[in-house]
Amino acid sequence: MNRAFLVLVVAVALLMAGSGCDDNKTVLEPDTNPTFVVSPDSIMISDHAPNGAIYVASDRPQSVFWRVTGKPPWASVDPESGNVAQTPAPVAVHANATGLTPGVYSGKVFFISSAGAAQVGVSFLVAVHPLAEVFPAALVVDANTDRTTFRLRNTGTGPLQWTVSAQPSWVTVAPYSGYVAAHDSMTLYVLVNRAGIPPGTVTGSVLISSNSDGGAITVPLTIEVPSAPRLAATPDSVTFDYFVNTRTFTVSNNGNAPLSWNTASGDAYLNVDPASGSLSPGQSTTATVTVNRTGLSTGTYTSSVLIGSDAGQTDTVGVRMKQFQESKWLLDYQVIDAEFSRSLNRIVAIVDSPPSLLLLDPESRAVQSVGLPLSPNCVAAHPDSGFAAVGHNGFVTYVNLNTMSIIRTYAVTTDALDIVLPPTGWVHVFPQRDQWEYIRSVNLATGQESNGTSQIYAGMRGRLHPSGKYMYGADNNLSPSDFYKFDVQPGPATLLWDSPYHGDYGTGGDLWFSEDGARLFGRSGDVFNSSATRSLDLTYSGHLAGLSYARWITHSSPAARIFAVSSDSYLGQAPPEIRVYGDQYLAFLGTMALPPFLVPNGQGGGTLYSSKGQYVFANEAGTRLYTMVRAATGSGLAHDWAVVVNDISSAP
């Protein structure tokens, strides 16, 4: 319903309401003044479609004059004024993005007329318009080089996203794709591979596709291909794992003329076959590198094979070799306990499966054995006699090491933890269970068992004094622990005294003596005096620096050295080394590395596991050192024990 009709309806209604009542009532006349109208209320245009339209009209037949009084700076209006009646007339709006950054711009077009004012909102979307250019426009690679560059520029607005969508097979462009910000540029590298291309001039092109308003760009490319061989060797390096002795590499002629090649090895342990040859253009051949490991010590070796040609070209193949020279004597046994017989220069060891006592010659690697009646727990061998005693659960076996025969097996009333064999015709057994116990002393002539004179705490370890007259014991599982001295001259073990310390020093655990018996070395690395005089015996005299948890300590008077191996403890993993000290002032002199165990992986390589020192012995002359080692936990070896032999002259 139009406005004139509404006015007319209202007028008629008023006339009907007042008829016959009051002849003096005023009758309303219809409104006949025009109104200026615009449509729509707002328009949206973009730089891709920058033209829009606004429609103006009068709501009466009467003509209305109008004109534009305001508009956004980026917009133009046509026409800007005119006359209009009831028939709508278009007003064209055009937006110009020149100088504008991408985004959405808003403004209004204002109208004024003889029939009122109006306004229309205008939104202008300016999109990104990247524009790609390259410089130079064409590329030439002469015969003296194999590369060139060009720059890719973005002279438009918004980021340019580009990629190399096509290129000749003999060209590599780097980078292959990327982004360039507005008004920025970047360098592209063109690498040429002339392998297999006949001499002459070759042309091609690089096609760069992007979101540029200008579309894809084709960059013409011309290369000069001279007549020349081109030597290449692949791969650039080869690796020989522990159990791999041959590797191959390829020699190629990537040029367009024949070449002759030859090789030179960087070290004598490398051999190349064939060592030379000839190649036609595009041809290749395989050369085999063989390593000779004879005489090479354990370690990683690096070398190279140099390949040269008659054209003066060279290439290199690097060589890396893992070498393991087994220097240890690998044992086919799991050792339970061991001691050393200096008079026989043999290691005395006990094993199970089957229960046996072994006499190991570390120099000749010969093994003698004698079967034992029961599983062994511990062994004692007097260093200067040819006899040994083996402790079992409830028994002791006495063995003649000279004949490798059992003399007798004795019943004892304890489960043996440790055993001591003095040259007195008696053997002394330390219990491993039942808390407060007695040392069991057995007369080897009669088999009679006697208890020691005083109780000890089960778990004590014992060691014979070099004089053969005394035995010392070290507490375990007690705090504070202590050292004790026993008289073992013919008869049961008789307690003489303990140390004057109770927690002040590292007493307890285990103990060893210097060859002359004047010093006692504790597991803690603390050193004590050993004397027949009670006031001097077991008094502190020093410490072996850096040693906090000894597994075994031995002293060699001829070498004037003390040797120690550590045990794993709460302080950490024991290092694979022998620590060496001077015997005069206990000065730390250095270490001797223990060789690792190599466990094959079945694929030519393997894993190295460090050696853990278990026992260390010096021969009587002080010239050789024998260390029993075990592979670190996790090796998976069924037999993980070995003997390492060192010249003491090489010790620090």
**pLDDT single digits (tens) 88-106:** 999 999 999 988 888 999 9
State pLDDT tens for residues 483-502: 999 999 989 999 999 999 98
User: pLDDT tens digits for 32-83?
Assistant: 789 999 999 999 999 989 999 999 999 898 899 999 999 999 999 999 999 9
CATH top-level class for 34-126?
Answer: mainly beta
Per residue in 170-205, pLDDT (tens digit) is 999 999 999 999 999 999 999 998 877 888 899 999
SS3 616: strand
Helices and strands of the chain, counted as H and E runs? 1, 56
pLDDT higher than threshold 60 for residue 340: yes
Q: What is the CATH number of domain 231-323?
A: 2.60.40.10
Amino acid at the residue 648: I
DSSP string, 266-325: SSTTEEEES-EEEE-TT-EEEEEEEE--TTPPSEEEEEEEEEEETTS-EEEEEEEEEE--
What pLDDT was estimated at residue 574?
A: 86
Closest C-alpha to 237, from 245, 255, 249: 249
Residue 190 neighbours by CB distance under 10 Å: 21
pLDDT, mean of residues 537-548: 95
pTM: 0.68
How far is the C-alpha of 123 from the C-alpha of 628, rounded, in Å?
Answer: 90
pLDDT of residue 14: 33
Please state, in angstroms and rounded to a whole number, the distance separating the CA atoms of residues 618 and 555.
7
Q: How far is CA 496 from CA 382, 483, 507, 538, in A?
A: 22, 11, 17, 12
Residue 339: which pLDDT band, with cuts at 50, 70 and 90?
very high
H-type alpha helices, 62-134? none
Partners of 527 in the beta sheet?
A: 521, 542
Higher pLDDT, 11 or 176: 176
The reported pLDDT for the residue numbered 19 is 40
pLDDT interval class at 228 (50, 70, 90): confident
- The predicted-structure confidence for 274-313, as pLDDT tens digits, reads as follows 999 999 998 999 999 999 999 999 999 999 999 999 999 9
Task: For the chain, give every domain's residue range.
Answer: 1-32, 34-126, 132-225, 231-323, 331-543, 548-652
Whether 629 shows a pLDDT value over 60: the answer reads yes
Quick one: pLDDT at residue 538?
97
* Same topology between domain 34-126 and domain 132-225: yes
The per-residue pLDDT of the chain, averaged, comes to: 92
Homologous superfamily (CATH) for 132-225? Immunoglobulins (2.60.40.10)
pLDDT of residue 456: 96
Provide CB contacts within 8 A for 266, sequence distance 6+.
303, 304, 305, 306, 319
pLDDT at 568: 82
Grade residue 31 by pLDDT with cuts at 50, 70 and 90.
low
Q: Is the pLDDT of residue 21 over 80?
A: no
Is 12's pLDDT higher than 80? no
List CB contacts of 466: < 8 A, sequence separation 6 or more: 383, 513, 514, 515, 516, 517
Per-residue pLDDT, 266 = 87
Residue 29: pLDDT band with limits 50, 70, 90 = low
| Average pLDDT of the segment spanning 342-368 | 96
Q: Which residues pair with 179 in a beta bridge?
A: 161
Q: Which CATH superfamily is domain 331-543 in?
A: YVTN repeat-like/Quinoprotein amine dehydrogenase (2.130.10.10)
What are phi and psi for residue 107, nearest 5 degrees?
-165, -175
